[in-house]
Structure 1
Amino acid sequence: MIWKQQMKKASVVRFMDKIAFTLGMLECCCTPWVISQYPEWIPFVHTFQSSILIVVRYFLYKRKSWHFFLLDMCYFVNVVVIMYLYVFPQSQALLGAVWLLSHGPLAFAIVTWRNSLVLHSLDKVTSVYIHMSPPITLYVVRWLYPDPNYTRFSALKDMPVLPTSSSLTYAIALYLTWQVAYYVFVVVRQKEKIKAGKRVTSYTWLLNDPKAGVISKVAHTFGEKYSIITFMGMQLIYTFVTCLFALLSYKYFRLNTVFLVGLFLVSVWNGASYYMEVFSKQYEKQLNKLAEEVSSAVAANQRAHDSAGAGAGETTGNGDRHSSVEAEPQKSASAKKDD
């Protein structure tokens, strides 16, 4: 279609990337302002933006058969955080669990999986957002929310620190609930589709990705057959260890602040590395490829047009010759009549 060809033009791609970059920068500027001036808006902002980004990602990933990625733990934690914000704000057990999971494995994933703040890339911005926004939202609820009587989030009342044992228990219980469900409904029931390459999961991606390095090697310690089980065990240990740090972040405001700022800087640094080392080369290749595709499409259309024109001309020529042949008998008949 014409509009698809237009969208592939290098000039259009550049323009769309500029818009995406501008919106991303606007987000980075506006979020701190909202936090400082209207912290009570943050839960709604998080819910609205994360919902849009996840829905858009679903449709984009669905076309590539990547939609099983949306069953990963990070999306599960995002859903549970929203449940706490709107359904169970009075539950201290759920507060402890979502705080540990969001400030633990979810937040540390920015470092572990090198999430990059690449402002023109919707995919990379979404990855940073779903890992960064839940802990920031809970940070605002914990430290900055203008509700001294705790009428909105009553679970915070009389809980200056998280109870270690119960919070860890509920957090790990939530994690295991997700892990068991994921193993049954994805790893087992979708095994044939995954094996045939019809579906891609984070497990198959990470375990077969050379960039995963040490993680992939350790997961294959007991062989290919047990690599997924081994990886699940590694992830459980990772979740538990990172949750231990999250206990401290709930207790100390400065530590929590420095931690979140540090995570943001890591994502920015990863984004800068991507721009300098990867994107500059890939972008030029991508634009050249798009230009070649558009040129090929235009050339094909031109050839088709020329062929159609030539065919029409040939038909007209045949018609003229046919008319001339018909005219000859008429001319002969007239000559005989004159004789």
Structure 2
Amino acid sequence: MASEPSRPPSPLSHPDSPNLFPMGYLSSLSLDRLVRDEGSEYANAFTLLDTLETFWDSRMDLLQRNISRRKDNLKMRAELALNDIFKGKHPSPDVLAENFEREVAKLRLKVSTRMASLGAAWQSAKVVRTREKISFFFGVMSLVFSALLFGLAPQYVHMSYTIQLLYLLPYRYYSYKKLQWHYFLFDLCYFVNILNFIFLWILPQSPSLFVACYCLSHGAVASAVITWRNSLVFHDADKVTSLFIHVYPPFTFTVIRHFYPGADERFPALKELPHLHPWRALLLSSIIYLVWQLLYWKLVYVDRRKKVESGQRTTSLYWIINKPGLIGSLLSKFQPEDRALYFMLGQFDVPPVFVLYDSPFWSGAYLLFILSVSVWNGGGFYIEVFGRKFERELEALRKELAEAQSKSQRSSPTMDPSEGSEPVSPLLVTKPLAGEADTNPVVPAADSVGLSLRLEEAKKDQ
């Protein structure tokens, strides 16, 4: 049985809008309007890819807000530093301006560096989104194209399977090698896919190989969609690849057995197999499975045992035990030294393939059931995982806007008519000379709590 780890692998953007949304933006956002105006053009355009971009843009907006807040903090720290330097002194305007310009230059350098980093991250996010869109396109087109081939030219289904296999297997090796997950490639599903390739293009006249490929493709490989929770998530190339490896083999051999015109001419092995003998099928499948299992045991649990035990490499057994699920919970009840044996025994399963072999109806129903499970799992990913993640980001944005509004209201003092209307930095406030009265004090309209407190201290000193 194959181990295909699921990686729960990614909001409304307006390029010309300012960094901060207006207060109450989310409360008046057109989500309610989308419900009311179901026939509007905007509601019809709100597709799945728009949701993906909305999710990412909300995160970018949060980053921009954090940068803006850091910018204000740096400016305030610069002013406090100047106050500490010139406390108790009366610097000349030229010295004051020079020091202030120096602090502003430092602030601009930090802000520009931060913005450059943000721009690089944005470009990287664009690349990621483009890759997901490409994966979504090819995933949907592969499904549609396979359905068209099945209906119009079933004799080419095995060619489509081969072409996609020659691309997706090297891609899977490359991506898993970078993650140090390449021990997953020793699992049964990849072994069966290679056997299928050998039968289709090297040994199509071998009845024994055909029986083994047919039984294992409809057994351990197809049932892995259920046990390993494969999901039809089109924008995730890894999930699409996992689903292809488990669904396309039984689909291909079902087409060859029941819907391929003149199949016995292209695959001479079918001439000797008008019917499938259950015990012979079980024996041949068991022999192939035993050969793979011995090779797997020697390669993973003997030759590379230290790497597996040290955690440098991840295997199917380790993954399924540490992943919530029925199989993992059952295996965790056994002793650690016995888990590998029970895991190997539990991987081999052969459904009543003699029923599928003789019935096109039940073969189609079986494939439809397997695909329906993957569609259900994919819907759960989009709604439960992705939807809740997007909801958490929106909730965080709402809280930030509420805190910013509350902070702004607390930090804006009510000005008397006699007070000046133009804000003045506390750095420029000087004490009056001895004997003079301060008849026209200037109090700035502060934008933050810290600035208001410093202004109040300046007034007390005057």
TM interval, short-chain normalised: 0.7 to 0.9
- The alpha-carbon deviation at position 158 of structure 1 amounts to 4.5
Q: Distance in 1 between matches of 2:297 and 2:365?
A: 35
Task: Give 1:1-339 correspondences, 5 Å limit.
Answer: 5=121, 8-9=124-125, 11-147=126-262, 150-209=264-323, 211-212=324-325, 214-236=326-348, 239=349, 243-282=350-389
- The alpha-carbon deviation at position 131 of structure 1 amounts to 0.2
SS of the counterpart of 1:114? coil
- The alpha-carbon deviation at position 74 of structure 1 amounts to 0.5
Q: Distance in 2 between matches of 1:48 and 1:284?
A: 40
Q: Distance in 1 between matches of 2:120 and 2:312?
A: 26
Q: Distance in 2 between matches of 1:7 and 1:89?
A: 49
SS of the counterpart of 1:157? helix
Structure with greater helix share of residues: 1
Q: Distance in 2 between matches of 1:99 and 1:64?
A: 32
Q: Distance in 2 between matches of 1:175 and 1:183?
A: 12
Uncovered stretches (5+) of structure 1, i.e. residues with no partner = 287-339
* Structure with larger Rg: 2
Q: CA RMSD, aligned part only? A: 2.3
- The alpha-carbon deviation at position 222 of structure 1 amounts to 3.5
SS of the counterpart of 2:208? helix
Q: What do the CA deviations read for 1:21-62 (whole angstroms, capped 9, x no partner)?
A: 122111111111012222221111101101211110111110
- The alpha-carbon deviation at position 245 of structure 1 amounts to 1.8
SS of the counterpart of 2:266? coil
Q: What do the CA deviations read for 1:77-117 (whole angstroms, capped 9, x no partner)?
A: 10111111111111111111111100011111111211100
TM (norm. structure 1) is: 0.77
Number of aligned positions between the proteins: 278
SS of the counterpart of 1:8? helix
CA contact (8 A) 2:232 2:374 kept: yes
- Deviating beyond 4 angstroms after TM superposition, the runs of 4 or more aligned structure 1 residues are 2-7, 282-286
| Alpha carbons of structure 1 residues 227 and 91: separation in structure 2 relative to 1, 3 Å | same
CA contact (8 A) 2:132 2:237 kept: no
CA contact (8 A) 1:71 1:182 kept: yes
Q: Choose 186-195 or 69-78, whichever is displaced more.
A: 186-195
TM (norm. structure 2) is: 0.57
Uncovered stretches (5+) of structure 2, i.e. residues with no partner = 1-116, 394-462
Q: Distance in 2 between matches of 1:79 and 1:138?
A: 14
Q: Percent identity?
A: 36
CA contact (8 A) 1:106 1:131 kept: yes
- The alpha-carbon deviation at position 271 of structure 1 amounts to 0.4
Q: What do the CA deviations read for 1:174-213 (whole angstroms, capped 9, x no partner)?
A: 011101110111112111111122111111111222x13x
Q: Distance in 2 between matches of 1:284 and 1:92?
A: 55
Counterpart amino acid of residue 205 in structure 1? W
Q: Choose 93-102 or 218-227, whichever is displaced more.
A: 218-227
Q: Distance in 2 between matches of 1:283 and 1:191?
A: 41
Counterpart amino acid of residue 203 in structure 2? F
Q: Distance in 1 between matches of 2:122 and 2:282?
A: 53
Q: Distance in 1 between matches of 2:265 and 2:278?
A: 25
Q: Which of the pair has the greater relative contact order for Cα pairs under 8 Å at 6+ separation? A: 1
| Alpha carbons of structure 1 residues 205 and 60: separation in structure 2 relative to 1, 3 Å | same
CA contact (8 A) 2:218 2:351 kept: no
- The alpha-carbon deviation at position 280 of structure 1 amounts to 2.8
- The alpha-carbon deviation at position 152 of structure 1 amounts to 1.1
Q: Choose 62-71 or 23-32, whichever is displaced more.
A: 23-32
| Alpha carbons of structure 1 residues 20 and 222: separation in structure 2 relative to 1, 3 Å | closer
Counterpart amino acid of residue 19 in structure 1? I
Q: What's 1:308 paired with? A: none
CA contact (8 A) 1:220 1:230 kept: no
Q: Distance in 1 between matches of 2:305 and 2:147?
A: 44
| Alpha carbons of structure 1 residues 282 and 64: separation in structure 2 relative to 1, 3 Å | farther
| Alpha carbons of structure 1 residues 244 and 23: separation in structure 2 relative to 1, 3 Å | closer
